[in-house]
Structure 1
Amino acid sequence: MADTSPGTILVTGAAGFIGAYTCRALKARGARVVGLDNFNDYYDPQLKRDRIAALCPDTDIRALDLTDRDGLAALFDEVAPTHVIHLAAQAGVRYSLTNPHAYVDSNLVGFVNILELCRHRGVQHLAYASSSSVYGDSATPPFSEDQRIDQPRSLYAATKAANELMAHTYAHLYGLRSTGLRFFTVYGPWGRPDMAPLLFSRAVLAGRPIDVFNHGKMRRDFTFVDDIVAGVLGALENPPEDEVPHRVFNLGNHTPVELERFIAVIEQAAGQPAQKVYKPMQPGDMIETMADTQRAHDAFGFEPATSIETGLPQVVAWCRDYFGENA
């Protein structure tokens, strides 16, 4: 990676789903990588440890929380990162309905702490995770980066939109080069257990019923993790050079999938039918997501290539292997 060598890349949320795959990809390119993660219990921390052991066992990952300003400052002083990939955040739409302070602490306070350290420690480029959730009620598919993001449907989405505004401000005031990445429903082996790909795969394998919200009338732009990581690294290697050096990119598959088709692919991979329980729409959810990825394609050749017919069977196979037949 010509843009990052011989400096150090700091990856926050390194034990997370996208974070661990990103660390693996960076190490494969010969980059010097240091990670941090707070290993919180939003989902089983053992899965995070197992994920690291499987994907990036040789990465130096420190146990540290984004709200620990002194600890973060000491880490920046020790490793002197030239680039930061900021993936750590409190994730999940529905969890934000009952645990709002977790989002304020990690996604707002923590993000300011990262911005301040990047500014004062001379970081050359900050690439950070945003979300397709920012589009909320105001956008129409396909979602383009030029559409409004001022009508979020959840506090989680609001914090991610706020991150983009904050990063823009630091770019404007201090010239901090930063790139926001709006991820669209990322899935793959070692994924988050609270998301539909793993929830549904495990339930079908175990013969448990699955809740199908909005009576199945939903479409999602499911994006395989390898495609997302390629986008993260492409964005990192192509920092903004504008007068206000802040850009935002969609990273999605540009191919929304009907929820019923998504379930059918899981059923085929699992070799048994799903027990579907149809329910109304949940608060905070979006009926459809679809990424316009032209801007990322033009900037760094982003070209997602993995269909759900290729990606989902890998998830089902991993669930069977990791959780057992009674997943």
Structure 2
Amino acid sequence: MKSIVYRTTGDPSVLELVERPVPEPAAGEVRVNVAVSGVNPTDWKSRVGSRPGDDLPFAEVTPNQDGAGTVDAISPEAAELNPQLEVGDRVWIFLSQHQRPSGTAQEYVTVPVEHVVRLPDGISFDVGASLGVPAMTAHRALTVSDQGPSRLAPGTLADKVVLVAGGAGAVGHAAIQLARWAGATVVTTVSSEEKATLARAAGAHHVVNYRESDAAQAILAAVPDGVDIVVEVAPGPNAALDLAVVKNHGTIAVYANNGGDSVTLDVRPFFARNLRFQGLLLYTVGEDALQVAAEDITAALVDGVLDVGEAAGLPLLRYPLEQTAAAHDAVENDAVGKVLIDVA
């Protein structure tokens, strides 16, 4: 089979197309014939490491956490854990490469059965490969408030206001769609009119271009009582804005460090309004939370949520497997849209 590998950390040039044997699923694993691989910032960051030349945890790594394809083989143990899953099922994959050498940038991948989810009828591989890290991160951000909910479904965020920082990104897109599905009023910030158009297509009720207006003033004009949940990609630069618009018992859910690693918060308004500054990382959030997210995301898919493509607010940028390096480079350079690799 064709596989992309790297044997040392570094820039995209360390990625190499090779031939490898088709892997056999170990105990508790499923083998998936990958159709589409999704690329996320975590994929190029893992490839780069702390610095070029760092040792890898494995002699050889195939990148990319997310993907979609068809179940090709199931180990007996995996069949026992999930008896509903069958060979031939169309599935989406999440966290394929977490603490493992095998990502989805190859024709066949073996994955723990817990991280393989059946795609509902009519849902494309493109949508499936775009879920994983972005959709599960968005789900977690929307369910960590001390005011609830702990699950997402129609109506669970009714009467809530959600602010999505960076609504044109993959996580932002998923957060807008999931929050809207759950009944929230959704506000998002963007940096250009192009991104504003995408955020509106995703379903945002109010879009604020922070480069053209006073963002806090514009947000409070749209939602005078303030924001219940912030899905935050840039906590450092946005700290003052978040404090200005979050209401009592609000939550700032932080999933990235865009714009810097440090955050300065005024303590008095923070504790006076009982705010929660909540970090989240899928790799350490725990299997129970991942399974809840997978279930809710699948329910949203059945309801027609989380579509991709420019008309849905998330343009697709496609690369063939042999151009995985270019795909990683596009994500690293903040390409607008979802980067996908056509494997099969």
TM range (shorter): 0.3 to 0.5
TM-score, with length taken from structure 1: 0.35
Q: Which structure has the larger Rg?
A: 2
- The structure with the largest helix share of the pair is 1
Q: Greater strand share, 1 or 2?
A: 2
TM-score scaled by length of structure 2: 0.34
